[in-house]
């Protein structure tokens, strides 16, 4: 009986640990460089459930140097303009944020540099 109970509890403990934000947030190196120079436009990939995740991210960013540029519904993305304190807060949101990437336009065929 004790072994059966332990086998049931192991997946529950693993799931609980994963839900507490134990995962790390991937941050594009360009974001690091750009934030050090001033406000930077980024795309934040949100973990499901998306709408609730977006709400929670925006609530946790309150008091930091961020501005909401666009909320994509139902896409798991937020477009933000951030500074150093907002980037630090996003890094700590592994339970909500998958990654933070630079928000740059992809150049049309034939052009070599992205437009900002």
In angstroms, the CA 91 to CA 86 distance is 9
16 lies in some domain: no
Q: State CA 93 to chain mean position distance.
A: 7
- Whether 104 contacts 110, CB under 8 Å: no
11 lies in some domain: no
Number of domains in the chain: 1
Strand, helix or coil at 25? Answer: coil
75 lies in some domain: yes
CATH number, residue 90: 3.30.70
| Domain containing residue 84 | 23-102
Residue-wise pLDDT for 9-59, tens only, equals 444 434 444 455 458 999 999 999 999 999 999 999 999 999 999 999 999
Residue-wise pLDDT for 68-91, tens only, equals 999 998 899 999 999 999 999 999
**pLDDT at residue 109, rounded to an integer:** 78
In angstroms, the CA 116 to CA 107 distance is 10
pLDDT of 93 strictly over 70? yes
69 lies in some domain: yes
Tracing tokens 């594009």 back to the chain, one arrives at 28
7 lies in some domain: no
Assigned token pair, 25: 């947030």
**pLDDT at residue 112, rounded to an integer:** 66
**pLDDT at residue 116, rounded to an integer:** 58
């Amino acid at each position: 009986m004790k072994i059966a109970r332990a086998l049931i509890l192991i997946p529950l403990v693993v799931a609980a640990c994963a839900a507490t934000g134990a995962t790390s947030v991937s941050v594009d190196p360009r974001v690091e460089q750009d934030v050090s120079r001033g406000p930077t436009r980024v795309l934040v990939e949100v973990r499901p459930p998306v709408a609730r995740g977006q709400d929670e991210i925006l609530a946790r960013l309150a008091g930091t140097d961020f501005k909401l540029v666009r909320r994509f519904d139902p896409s798991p993305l937020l477009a933000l303009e951030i500074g150093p304190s907002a980037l630090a807060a996003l890094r700590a949101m592994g339970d909500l944020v998958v990654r933070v990437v630079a928000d740059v336009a992809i150049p049309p065929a034939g052009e070599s540099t992205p437009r900002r």
